[in-house]
């Protein structure tokens, strides 16, 4: 408006007749107002053009959020067709086109399970009560996994200002090689069931494979012999903790031949906890089966307080003397000379090495009219720190 007034002022000569002045002023005002309108319209038009350009750029520059999905969906469809009818043309085509080079292998060795099904199997394995839940799990692409353990402290000493510094001790390194073994499962389904489009073959297969793997892994991580299977935590030589040395596991006795001691039964649990080094106790966990847990949860201290406390929230572990308890049914029952309870920092003490891929081979011939699905993965396990795990032995000494 200030601009309009200025233009009107410029359009009014001082010598004009009053009537003429009014007409001249009105004409100048209208001219200035029309010019102002034109400027506003031009400015709005320019703003609209800029917004249109920005929207166009954003449309073409927007990232492809479904890029991974676009790769996985064709594989999932092709994998479903292979499971239902044995048609592997889709999987072969994906490999040839380079869209999923990591998801297809030679037909005689089967095909890699699609990512969604593989993630379902892994999540079920992680959610189970086995050493996988508390151990150190690593993914490898080789036939074995080597762990270097420094089982001594680097030497040190105090240095004076003028005296020579003596050479310190050299640390002792231990190499532990964890060999990967093939773990397999072979569920079967009738072809008629597979032909039913309402049947979720991928979900059914994931559940069956995970169930077989869970049982086999949980048993091997506790009692595995190392022959075509992982080495379990109970495989090494056991010695009384007072005589412990590297390569063996130290144990604490209950004080009774075939059970806990009749008096002060909780003392052996306390001895077990403090047999473990302070560096390991901070992250330690008890491992026992349900029968042992049923006996231990009845124990009380000298003041009559229970040593066992249940988790306050569903899914949380129970606690014994403030340490979490993992219930593994493959641990031995309470019996003479049995090692019924393990206590330790299993992240440091036990390593599980596995390949991330899971293969599936469809066999419609060996069990007609049923179809067999041979699923396999490679996994290994071994103790990597013998000082990180202690055992409770049901024995007098």
pLDDT category at 101 given cuts 50, 70, 90 is very low
Q: Distance (Å, rounded) from C-alpha 249 to C-alpha 237?
A: 6
For 96, the token pair is: 């040839």
> Looking at the domain assignment, is residue 363 inside a domain?
no
Lowest mean pLDDT among 25-29, 105-109, 255-259, 276-280: 105-109
> Looking at the domain assignment, is residue 232 inside a domain?
no
Number of domains in the chain: 2
Tell which wins on pLDDT, 49 or 331.
331
| Closest by Cα among 272, 240, 267, 244 to 256 | 267
> Looking at the domain assignment, is residue 365 inside a domain?
no
The mean predicted confidence, pLDDT, of the chain is 81
> Looking at the domain assignment, is residue 38 inside a domain?
yes
Range of the domain at 19: 2-44
Q: What sections of 62-186 are H helices per DSSP?
A: 67-85, 89-97, 115-126
Question: Do the beta carbons of residue 388 and residue 246 sit within 8 Å?
Answer: no
- Mean pLDDT highest for which of 54-58, 128-132, 290-294? 290-294
Question: Do the beta carbons of residue 358 and residue 121 sit within 8 Å?
Answer: yes
> Looking at the domain assignment, is residue 50 inside a domain?
no
Q: What sections of 230-289 are H helices per DSSP?
A: 267-275, 278-281
> Looking at the domain assignment, is residue 7 inside a domain?
yes
pTM of the model: 0.72
The pLDDT value given to residue 316: 81
Question: Do the beta carbons of residue 191 and residue 364 sit within 8 Å?
Answer: yes
Kindly report the backbone phi and psi dihedral angles of residue 249, in degrees, each rounded to the nearest multiple of 5, phi listed first.
-110, 135
Say yes or no to pLDDT of 26 above 90. no
* Residues 6+ away with beta carbon under 8 Å from 70: 64
Instruction: Please count the CA atoms within 13 angstroms of the CA of 279 that sit on its side-chain side.
Output: 6
Q: Distance (Å, rounded) from C-alpha 135 to C-alpha 213?
A: 17
pLDDT category at 157 given cuts 50, 70, 90 is low
Kindly report the backbone phi and psi dihedral angles of residue 204, in degrees, each rounded to the nearest multiple of 5, phi listed first.
-60, -45
> Looking at the domain assignment, is residue 133 inside a domain?
no
The pLDDT value given to residue 67: 43
| Closest by Cα among 208, 182, 6 to 124 | 208
The pLDDT value given to residue 74: 66
The pLDDT value given to residue 82: 77
Say yes or no to pLDDT of 309 above 80. yes
Question: Do the beta carbons of residue 272 and residue 392 sit within 8 Å?
Answer: yes
H helix and E strand count, the chain:
11, 17
37-53 pLDDT, tens digit per residue, is: 777 777 777 777 777 77
pLDDT category at 79 given cuts 50, 70, 90 is confident
Lowest mean pLDDT among 4-18, 173-187, 236-250, 264-278: 4-18
The pLDDT value given to residue 92: 66
Say yes or no to pLDDT of 378 above 60. yes
The pLDDT value given to residue 168: 61
> Looking at the domain assignment, is residue 314 inside a domain?
yes
The pLDDT value given to residue 100: 41
């Amino acid at each position: 408006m200030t601009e309009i007034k200025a233009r009107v002022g410029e359009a009014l000569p001082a010598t004009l007749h009053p009537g003429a002045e009014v007409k001249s002023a009105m004409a100048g005002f209208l001219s200035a107002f029309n010019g102002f309108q034109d400027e506003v319209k031009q400015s709005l038009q320019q703003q609209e053009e800029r917004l249109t350009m920005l929207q166009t750029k954003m449309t073409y520059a927007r990232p492809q959020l479904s890029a991974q999905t676009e790769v996985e969906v064709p594989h999932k469809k092709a994998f479903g067709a292979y499971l239902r009818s044995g048609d592997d043309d889709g999987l072969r085509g994906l490999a040839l086109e380079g869209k999923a080079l990591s998801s297809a292998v030679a037909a005689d060795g089967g095909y890699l399970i699609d990512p969604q099904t593989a993630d379902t199997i892994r999540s079920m394995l992680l959610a189970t009560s086995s050493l996988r839940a508390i151990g150190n799990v690593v993914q490898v692409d080789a036939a074995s996994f080597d762990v270097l353990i420094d089982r001594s402290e680097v030497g040190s000493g105090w240095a004076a200002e003028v005296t020579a510094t003596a050479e310190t001790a050299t640390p002792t390194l231990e190499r532990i090689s964890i060999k990967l073994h093939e773990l397999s499962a072979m569920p079967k389904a009738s072809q008629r069931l597979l032909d039913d489009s309402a049947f979720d073959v991928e979900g059914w297969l994931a559940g069956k494979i995970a169930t077989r793997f869970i049982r086999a892994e949980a048993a091997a991580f506790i009692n595995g012999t190392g022959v075509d299977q992982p080495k379990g935590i109970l495989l090494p030589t056991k010695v009384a903790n007072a005589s412990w040395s590297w390569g063996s596991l130290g144990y604490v006795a209950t004080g009774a031949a075939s059970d806990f001691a009749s008096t002060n039964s909780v003392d052996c649990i306390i001895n077990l906890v403090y047999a473990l080094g302070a560096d390991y106790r901070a992250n330690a966990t008890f491992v026992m089966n349900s029968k042992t847990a049923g006996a231990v949860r009845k124990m009380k201290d000298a003041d009559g307080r229970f040593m066992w406390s249940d988790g306050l929230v569903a899914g949380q572990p129970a606690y014994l003397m403030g340490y979490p308890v993992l219930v593994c049914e493959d641990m031995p029952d309470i019996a003479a000379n049995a090692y019924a309870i393990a206590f330790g920092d299993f992240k440091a003490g036990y390593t599980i090495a596995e390949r991330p891929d899971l293969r599936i081979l469809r066999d419609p011939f060996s069990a007609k009219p049923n179809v067999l699905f041979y699923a396999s993965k490679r996994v290994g396990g071994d103790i990597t720190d013998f000082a990180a795990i202690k055992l409770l032995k049901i024995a007098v000494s």
